[in-house]
Amino acid sequence: MTLNCCADELCLLLQRWRKYGSHRLTFLERHCPPMLERKQCLVPPPDGYKPPIRWPKSRDECWYRNVPYNWINKQKSNQNWLRKQGEKFLFPGGGTMFPRGVGAYVDLMQDLIPEMRDGTVRTAIDTGCGVASWGGDLLDRGILTVSLAPRDNHEAQVQFALERGIPAILGVISTQRLPFPSNSFDMAHCSRCLIPWTEFGGIYLLEVHRILRPGGFWVLSGPPVNYENRWRGWNTTVEEQKSDYEKLEGLLTSMCFKMYAKKDDIAVWQKSSDSSCYNKLAEPDVYPAKCDDSLEPDSAWYTPLRPCVVVPKPELKKSALESLPKWPERLQVAPERISNVPGGSSSALKHDDSKWKVRAKHYKMLLPALGTNEIRNVMDMNTVYGGFAAAVIDDPLWTMNVVSSYAANTLPVVYDRGLIGTYHDWCEAFSTYPRTYDLLHLDGLFTAESHRCDMKYVLLEMDRILRPKGYALIRESSYFIDAIAGIAKGLRWSCHREDTEYGVAKEKLLVCQKKLWYSASSSSR
């Protein structure tokens, strides 16, 4: 198979934006090309690309030529998001609301939310993440954050985050649900992310409410918080900001949020775990009303946002934040939502974890880079309970656990264990930039999905998101291993077949490394 070079082929391709309206930023959502328009080509690295700087040094600096976008540096220089210096971008840890550094900002947040210090808060989402300095700082505090930003005029915020080795995904709260189950995150954060929370009936805040678990925290800094002292810098009037704040408070109260703490520029609300508040939403003429049962609360792949409150199921009492074991004990305890998975049980989880401990040990023998700082950004392309991620939890890496939109819905279990992940359909492009993962792992993905997805396009997508010199660890039937090995040659991957840990003939491993190559028009330095 001979493949030419092409530009980045995404479901968020800039050239298609003009076809979609600007209302509620619809044009920033996923819009995949029809099958006949899909390209069979490889995305080359930019001129001057170098292997990424290794973690943890990468948190503070990256090669300019790897992410050659200078718009943020020019437009936001006073906020210290990043700074270009020679051949590198440096990340001072600044942000719109914390230009002098993220550390003091998070320290204040922890003073307001003591649960951030003791392992209660483990998973977080940052909407409008910038270059993900907030999520990067939280890693040292034992909190794993999904940083979320659209592909917009800021140019490559998510790519900067991933280049730094910080979890991130392309996305926007617009007309479709975010690709996460309900009641997933322990904390949600917005630092002047410019989302109009009170517009359109509060539908964006309703989506945050859906993905935030009962007892979870919503943190807001920026307009209209602290409007009394900040309004002059917001090109508005104090009366307008006061009105906005009162609207926001009223909307949050109607959704069963309670003010938890507030100081300076940071306000914290907590999602109620009390069913009595949610029972009131069923009364006539209440807005927002309680969602009916016609739509599964965890349905989140091309599922429209709805102007109603997804009420936590009263029978799931152990999924509230205050009822979960603290991290890291949480990783080993079977969540109550595992009973919603066909065949799911505490013993099934224990068996899965034991299996993956054995497999991870074997993988490290075949791929010595696994467990070192050579591999930082990892994706498990078709996880069940997050077993692979759990087996490598002590290594200097993080794992994006992907659950197929066509598979059993196990992603709530992944989040309840204190891990992160997303729904995805591998017949389409993943919501990330090129060259953003060091290791892609899959276990039987082609066996499960080949009747729907063309293997060739899945492997092309894997090549797009894999960093040069990154690895693919493919566990499949012998039939698919042979077919994949043939396509991998056209991708310029170097692969070798290996036995599984038990040496069974029907299942094999393919260990591949993507070569660093340049297009004919690029420099090879």
pLDDT category, 79, cuts 50, 70, 90? confident
Q: Is the pLDDT of residue 90 over 70?
A: yes
Provide, rounded to the nearest whole percent, the portion of the chain with pLDDT above 70.
Answer: 94
pLDDT category, 108, cuts 50, 70, 90? very high
Alpha-carbon distance 10 to 430, whole Å? 8
Pick the more confident residue, 513 or 224.
513
Q: Is the pLDDT of residue 2 over 60?
A: no
Chain-wide mean pLDDT for the chain?
92
What confidence score (pLDDT) does residue 228 get? Answer: 85
Answer yes or no: are the C-beta atoms of 214 and 274 closer than 8 Å: no
pLDDT category, 523, cuts 50, 70, 90? very low
Q: Is the pLDDT of residue 472 over 90?
A: yes
Between helices 455-465 and 478-490, what is the axis angle to 10°? 60
Architecture of domain 95-323: 3-Layer(aba) Sandwich (3.40)
CATH number of 333-514: 3.40.50.150
Alpha-carbon distance 317 to 319, whole Å? 6
Alpha-carbon distance 390 to 66, whole Å? 30
Question: Tens digits of per-residue pLDDT, 496-522?
Answer: 999 999 998 899 999 999 999 988 765
pLDDT category, 9, cuts 50, 70, 90? low
Distances (CA, A) of 435 to 42, 361, 378, 396: 12, 26, 12, 19
CB neighbour list of residue 322: distance below 8 Å, 6 or more residues apart: 120, 215, 273
Q: Is the pLDDT of residue 188 over 70?
A: yes
Question: Tens digits of per-residue pLDDT, 349-402?
Answer: 999 999 999 999 999 999 999 999 999 999 999 999 999 999 999 999 999 999
Pick the more confident residue, 309 or 241.
309
Q: Is the pLDDT of residue 207 over 70?
A: yes
pLDDT category, 203, cuts 50, 70, 90? very high
Question: Tens digits of per-residue pLDDT, 286-337?
Answer: 999 999 876 799 999 999 999 999 999 888 889 999 999 999 999 999 999 9
| SS3 call for 238 | helix
Cis amide bond preceding 179, omega within 30: no
Least reliable range by pLDDT among 174-183, 226-235, 275-284, 416-425 = 226-235
What confidence score (pLDDT) does residue 319 get? Answer: 92
What confidence score (pLDDT) does residue 222 get? Answer: 87
Alpha-carbon distance 329 to 418, whole Å? 9
Q: Which residue's structure tokens are 């060259």?
A: 435
What confidence score (pLDDT) does residue 153 get? Answer: 59
Looking at residue 258, its amino acid is: K
**Buried-state track 477-512, b at ≥16 Cβ within 10 A, e below 16:** eeebbebbbebbebbebebeebebbeeeeebbbbbb
Max CA separation in the chain (angstroms): 73
What confidence score (pLDDT) does residue 20 get? Answer: 73
Q: Is the pLDDT of residue 88 over 90?
A: yes
Answer yes or no: are the C-beta atoms of 87 and 77 closer than 8 Å: no
95-323 shares its CATH topology with 333-514: yes
Least reliable range by pLDDT among 95-109, 415-429, 441-455, 482-496 = 95-109
> How are strands ordered across the β-sheet holding 88-90?
61-63, 88-90, 83-85
Q: Which residue's structure tokens are 């991708």?
A: 491
Answer yes or no: are the C-beta atoms of 402 and 380 closer than 8 Å: yes
Hey, what are 384's tokens?
């069940």
Pairing state between β 185-191 and 507-514 = unpaired
What confidence score (pLDDT) does residue 231 get? Answer: 78
Indicate the domain borders of the chain: 1-41, 95-323, 333-514
Q: Which residue's structure tokens are 């948190």?
A: 59
Alpha-carbon distance 349 to 264, whole Å? 44
* Mean pLDDT value of segment 19-36: 81
Answer yes or no: are the C-beta atoms of 469 and 425 closer than 8 Å: no
Hey, what are 265's tokens?
């520029």
Question: Tens digits of per-residue pLDDT, 208-217?
Answer: 999 999 999 9
Question: Tens digits of per-residue pLDDT, 142-172?
Answer: 999 999 998 865 568 899 999 999 999 999 9
